[in-house]
Amino acid sequence: MGSLSEIYSRLPDSMDDLPPPPNQEAVAQADYHARHWVSPLTGPLKPGSEAHKRAVAAMFRETFNPYRPSVIDWPKLDPQTLHRIVSLPIWDIAVQTEGKARLRMAAYASLVQDPDMKDAISRNAWEENRHKEVLSKMVAAYDIPMAPEPPYVEPKDVEWAYLVTGFSECVDSFFAFGMFELAKRSGFFPEALTDTFEPIMQEECRHILLFANWLAWQRAVMPWWRRPYFEAKVWAVWAFLAYERMSLARTVDDSGQEHTQDNNFTVTGTKDVANIDITLPDFMDLCLAEDERRFSGYDARLLRPTTAPFLARVIRNTGRAWEFASGIVKANRK
């Protein structure tokens, strides 16, 4: 475990040695660079090529946002808002997900031979650790009661664990983008708090951009005889995620109190974060629009995750067809 924690707690170019941003302008510039990146190379970036792989690693390195969790100024919340936020059933699972992600990514990075991909995935592990730090600081600032964290166990099948984390992030981030926007519009989160979380949301977009391109690279460079086994594993991961999302995670704390955490919060939590009534098809449209917006600043030659947007379109179209059909039935009854 020692060497893995070294991967996720030490950035290749140690951030602790960097001076903090001198002013607000520097912060805004770092934010801009985290959202916009185009490779100076001309021509296509074909997965499996040296150019594509270098571009993926450069994108991840050059869009790094050097914010520090320790200097985040948590806004003071009025008692009502504080209560709403403290009682969201997500904080345990959020902290534990980051804890697992940093370990799984570090474990996978330690096995990757290619220096460019190793660098990018190690940085991703580091950023997951930073997310965990941000959440820990927030939990402390708002006095959110937490269940004790389970021990983080190094995965036995490192590739499986990395795939589970990567695909989970693809699904969760896609729906979280929509939910975050909804929470912003409804004023559920005060603006100061959404501003604080905004860089983290965008960071997840970079993570899933990296994952989608790593996946394409991995498929392109792996020996042909490994491919069927790998694809079977990918299907098994999706089956596992579908099963996991149908259940709720329960943990019991020191005093015997049960904490119920919703694995599926990013899909089902719209009512919790917004007093706006939004139909499922409209929510899917919002997620699709936000997904598009967050990815729009990155080189169009890099691949984007496609499964969650595809599912969202299916759900939206089915929902619209249902609305249309039930509208006709109602009109005929009158």
Interface ranges with Fe ion (CB under 5 A): 98, 128, 131, 169, 204, 207
Dmax over Cα atoms in the chain, in whole Å? 72
Q: What is the C-alpha separation between 133 and 138, in angstroms, rounded?
A: 9
- Residue 185 CB, shortest distance to Fe ion, in Å, is 23
Q: Which lies closer to Fe ion via its Cβ, residue 178 or residue 281? A: 178
Q: Which lies closer to Fe ion via its Cβ, residue 98 or residue 291? A: 98
- Residue 178 CB, shortest distance to Fe ion, in Å, is 17
Which amino acid does the sequence have at 214?
A: W
- Residue 260 β-bridge partners: 250
Q: Which lies closer to Fe ion via its Cβ, residue 202 or residue 316? A: 202
DSSP line for 33-83: HHH-B--S--S---TTSHHHHHHHHHHHHHT-----GGG--PPP--HHHHH
- Residue 281 CB, shortest distance to Fe ion, in Å, is 28
Which amino acid does the sequence have at 331?
A: A
Packing angle of the helix pair 191-221, 24-35 (nearest 10 deg): 40
- Residue 126 CB, shortest distance to Fe ion, in Å, is 11
Q: Which lies closer to Fe ion via its Cβ, residue 204 or residue 290? A: 204
Q: Tell me, what DSSP letter sits at residue 302?
A: S
CB 125 within 8 A of CB 102: yes
Q: Which lies closer to Fe ion via its Cβ, residue 53 or residue 130? A: 130
- Residue 133 CB, shortest distance to Fe ion, in Å, is 11
Distance between start and end Cα atoms, the chain? 68
